[in-house]
Amino acid sequence: MEHIGLIRFPRNLISATLLAALSPGVIHADEFTDFSIEEIVVTAQKREQSLTDVAGSLQAFTGDNLENLGVTGLEDIAGMIPSASFVNAPAAGWQTMQIRGISSGTTGEATTGYYIDELAFGVPNLQVAPPARFFDLERIEVLRGPQGTLYGQGSMGGTVKIITADANPNEFQAKFQTGIASASGADLSYYADFSVNLPLIEDKLGLRVSGGMDKTSGYGKSPDFPDEDKLGDSDSSNVRVKLNFTPNDELSIEATLWHMESNQDFSSFVDAKGELYPALDQATAATLAPIAGAADLAVILDPVTFAVVGPNPDPMAGGTFYQDAYSDYLQARSESHNELDSGLDMASVQVDWDLGFATLVSGTSYMDHQLPWTLEFAGGLSDITALYETESVTQELRLVSNGDSNLNWLVGVFISEAEFESETLTTLPNLGPVYGPLIGGLTGDTLVKGKADISTRSVFGEVSAMLFDGVLEPSLGLRYFEDERTFTGISEGGSSSGTSNSLNPRLAVKWNLAEEGMVYASAAKGFRSGSVQGTDSVAGAAAMGINTETLLDEDSLWSFELGSKWTLLDGSLVLDAALYHSQWDDVQLQFSTATVVANANAGDAEITGFDLGAMYATPVKGLTLQLAANINRSEWTSVDPVIAAVLPGVEKGGELANAPQRSATFSLDYQTQVFSELEGFARFSWSHLRPQMEVTSGSTTEEMNDLSLRLGVKAGDWEFTLFGENLLDQAGPIGLTNYTPAPEQRLYPRKLGLNIKFQM
């Protein structure tokens, strides 16, 4: 896993790059010793602002640095976000990220929000991230803490914004990169990315096309496939087209089309140290085989309907119906394996119209998202093959004040229509109407189909003022949110519906103590609609004694934050710290039953934590050091006693699942002039993550220590980089997912590779 490295900042300009976790800026070097830096402009508060003007925990990673440091996806950037980690990351497009301990599993509405330009990305009832590849981006912004006022429901822990690069109407541009890598026990992996910018009408119209592919070789083994030892290949590809049109000084239009797809063969659910994928339970199969044979001897079946006619008077004359059915089941299982795919087609149009006193912004987007998957349950009897499909349309319209007034404001409306369909086929042995119910209901394959329709409406606004010559800057935001959702069980019949609504305020005050630093305080509410689930999930929970519904109650939290940002030592040291406390009510919790995954409102929790970021431009020319760290303490303050009795990972006074108590990343960046036309660089990063607990079993992961290194040279338009990832070859589990039994996830084995980049 490659993480964000560091760039040395000129000391007289370093205050312009003070970030929530001190993210790198954009460096220009006509001569190696002559540094300049562009101020990073962000849109976190839905207006263009200098990063340092935002009173809140915010990071911004520029597109150039993402590419220079080998960051290709969300999994590569998580280690640089204080208090963030992955709840689940079995494949591209299947990652679930938590921020500041706000995590409730992988199903249900998301606790972390995602935006791609103006597209509010979200899959109803699933907490997955977009499968975007981070090449040719403008920047990524990460907002920590609830963002309910400006970004709506689901952004309880924070929001990640992926902002694509605009087309330039005046200049032809092209860049390309390719690389190969080798890892322990795996074949060669390779990738390639490209971007071409075409000016069409000077100053008015430009077209940008980019895309790429990645093939990562597998390294796993499976008892079901003894002759293969490099299982688990993954493939991904994407292509993006962006058109920017500026007909005049007051109007700008951008349109984006982006297709992404990925396939993870066998998924990343693996016995981490043994590199073994789940296999058919041969011991259980051996015990059931004679039962199938005995069933054929003990009953008489109608030859047409296969209904049981009665006891067999001649046991030796029994047929082979049960034996044949069980053989078919064994054959189906032996030929299947875990596989997680994802696909996303998105289109968005953003229109900015400068009206003088304010800018009218319209963002329209369409998304078609697919998640086909197959999972084996090791140690059990079932295979599950499923397809989740989501189609949504969103529209946001907002008016943002212009000018340098002491009073800034914005108002807006948001509308979304989404449809989610699921089809799940569970493969089970067929022991018929007589014996099947006696042995766990094993009466053949089960097909479950469901559909959810979700309609969302919200209005929002925010106002801020500059008081006492800019010393004090208070701001107040408010969002009213309402959604209506209907869930229909197509297979089993019946439907449920409900309406969720919430009023989400945010109050912040920034105190500019001096030119070198500031202090801010904020209070904000986060909100999430109740998730929907099938009657099979409700029945599975009931079998454990847990009462839940097909439509859960919503949960919400209040978060309070006190932060400060400073530039010290004549600009060579920048510090950023934030203390936060969250109160989370009616937590929607995911857990495993004997047959399915279910959700229930489990109780209330509190989370208290501290984020720290530091960057030091050392006296050694070209050497910069960076630290990002977090301490996080979570606690259940009240728990449903039935849930506490059944789930070992849930108890009053106990910590929340997937909320590590400590995380840290230390990075080093060194640049030097090798020859007059040759620059050299070295980038090192170490990421540390304390163990995370899995809720159903109460098991914990191992402590993660991930070392990465990049060494390279740049000559004109060309750049050559040698890189190493997971240099310690850590093989222990770093993720547990609450299926039955909880499958493990690990870092990809130690990887060494070469990257070649050309940019003109």
Dump pLDDT digits (tens) for 404-416. Answer: 788 999 999 999 9
Residue 380 pLDDT: 62
DSSP bridge pairs for 604: 638
How far is residue 176's CA from residue 193's CA, in Å, rounded to a whole number? 6
Q: What is the pLDDT of residues 439-479, one digit of tens each?
A: 666 777 888 888 889 999 999 999 999 999 889 999 999 99
Q: What is the pLDDT of residues 15-63, one digit of tens each?
A: 333 333 344 333 333 333 333 334 678 888 888 877 767 788 888 888 9
pLDDT band per the 50, 70, 90 thresholds, residue 585? very high
Residue 271 pLDDT: 81
How far is residue 328's CA from residue 320's CA, in Å, rounded to a whole number? 12
Cβ neighbours of residue 85 closer than 8 Å, sequence gap 6 or more: 78, 97, 98, 658, 660, 663, 689, 692
Residue 80 pLDDT: 79
Q: Which position has the token pair 């009023």?
A: 503
Residue 677 pLDDT: 84
pLDDT band per the 50, 70, 90 thresholds, residue 14? very low
Quick one: which of 615, 580, 475, 520 has its CA closest to 16?
615
Compute the average pLDDT of residues 307-314: 52
Report in angstroms the alpha-carbon separations of 694 from 39, 106, 540.
42, 12, 19
Q: What is the pLDDT of residues 122-146, one digit of tens each?
A: 888 888 889 889 999 999 999 999 9
pLDDT band per the 50, 70, 90 thresholds, residue 314? very low
Question: What is the secondary structure of 42-61 as a DSSP string?
Answer: E-TTSS-EEGGG--S-EEEE
Q: How many CB atoms lie within 10 A of CB 5?
A: 26
Cβ neighbours of residue 499 closer than 8 Å, sequence gap 6 or more: 482, 483, 484, 485
Q: Which position has the token pair 């590849």?
A: 133
15 against 553, higher pLDDT: 553
Phi-psi region of 64 (alpha: psi -120 to 50; beta: other; left: phi over 0): alpha
In contact, 158 and 95? CB cutoff 8 Å: no
Compute the average pLDDT of residues 92-115: 88
Tokens of 705: 């220590």
How far is residue 72's CA from residue 234's CA, in Å, rounded to a whole number? 14
Residue 19 pLDDT: 35
In contact, 694 and 700? CB cutoff 8 Å: yes
DSSP bridge pairs for 350: 254, 363
Class of domain 14-278+338-759: mainly beta
In contact, 266 and 339? CB cutoff 8 Å: yes
Q: Is the pLDDT of residue 10 over 90?
A: no
Q: Is the pLDDT of residue 239 over 90?
A: yes
Residue 304 pLDDT: 52
Task: Report which listed range, 28-32, 318-322, 640-644, is most confident.
Answer: 640-644
Quick one: which of 209, 353, 49, 266 has its CA closest to 745?
266
Instruction: Report helix angle 321-335 to 282-298, nearest 10.
Output: 160
pTM recorded for the entire structure: 0.87
Q: Which residues of 481-500 are buried (b: 16+ CB within 10 A; e: fewer)?
A: bebebebbbeeeeeebebeb
Residue 410 pLDDT: 96
Q: What percent of the chain has pLDDT over 70?
A: 86
How far is residue 539's CA from residue 82's CA, in Å, rounded to a whole number? 39
Q: Is the pLDDT of residue 301 over 70?
A: no
Q: How far apart are the two ends of the chain, measured CA to CA in Å?
A: 28
**Vertex 73, ends 68 and 79: CA angle to 5°?**
85
In contact, 581 and 610? CB cutoff 8 Å: no
How far is residue 13's CA from residue 709's CA, in Å, rounded to a whole number? 27
Q: How do the domains of the chain map onto residue ranges?
A: 14-278+338-759, 284-331
**What is the phi/psi pair of residue 653, to 5°?**
90, -10
Q: Is the pLDDT of residue 758 over 90?
A: yes
Quick one: which of 175, 60, 179 has its CA closest to 725?
179
Tokens of 115: 């935006």
In contact, 40 and 50? CB cutoff 8 Å: yes
Preceding peptide of 741 cis, ω within 30°: yes
Q: What is the pLDDT of residues 341-361, one digit of tens each?
A: 999 999 999 999 999 999 999
334 against 699, higher pLDDT: 699
Mean of per-residue pLDDT scores for the chain? 84
How far is residue 115's CA from residue 318's CA, in Å, rounded to a whole number? 62
Residue 601 pLDDT: 93
Task: Report which listed range, 76-90, 251-265, 370-384, 543-557, is most confident.
Answer: 251-265
Cβ neighbours of residue 276 closer than 8 Å, sequence gap 6 or more: 220, 221, 222, 223, 270
- β strands within 402-494, DSSP E: 407-427, 446-465, 472-489
Q: What percent of the chain has pLDDT over 90?
A: 46
221 against 190, higher pLDDT: 190
Tokens of 247: 């007909």
Poorest-confidence range of 76-85, 327-336, 394-403, 512-521? Answer: 327-336
Question: What is the secondary structure of 194-234 as a DSSP string?
Answer: EEEEEEEETTTEEEEEEEEEEEE---BB-TTSTT---B--E
Cβ neighbours of residue 602 closer than 8 Å, sequence gap 6 or more: 587, 588, 589, 636, 639, 640, 643, 650
4 against 230, higher pLDDT: 230
Poorest-confidence range of 316-320, 467-471, 754-758? Answer: 316-320
pLDDT band per the 50, 70, 90 thresholds, residue 638? very high
How far is residue 646's CA from residue 642's CA, in Å, rounded to a whole number? 6
Q: Is the pLDDT of residue 204 over 70?
A: yes
pLDDT band per the 50, 70, 90 thresholds, residue 580? very high
Residue 306 pLDDT: 52
